[in-house]
Amino acid sequence: MATIVVKQIGSPIRRPKIQRATLKGLGLNKMHRTRELEDTPSVRGMVNSIPHLVTIVEEKG
């Protein structure tokens, strides 16, 4: 199973509600937190929809 490590680099303050919901869906809620997630098309789509708030730190597998 391939995974990616995603890090939050931007604040959700004064962002549209949909972007805040996307962050919450990824399991991120505070600055500089990291999360290891499965590398699926849905997760990639969520990450690509908010590139100014998150970055991919590492890709495993």
* Sequence spans of domains, the chain: 3-60
Mean pLDDT of 35-57: 98
Identify the band that residue 11 occupies on the pLDDT scale cut at 50, 70 and 90.
very high
Task: Identify the CA nearest to 25 among candidates 14, 37, 11, 13.
Answer: 37
Fold of 3-60: Ribosomal Protein L30; Chain: A, (3.30.1390)
State residue 61's pLDDT score. 87
* DSSP string for residues in 11-36: --TTS-HHHHHHHHHHT--STT-EEE
In terms of pTM, does the model score above 0.85?
Answer: yes
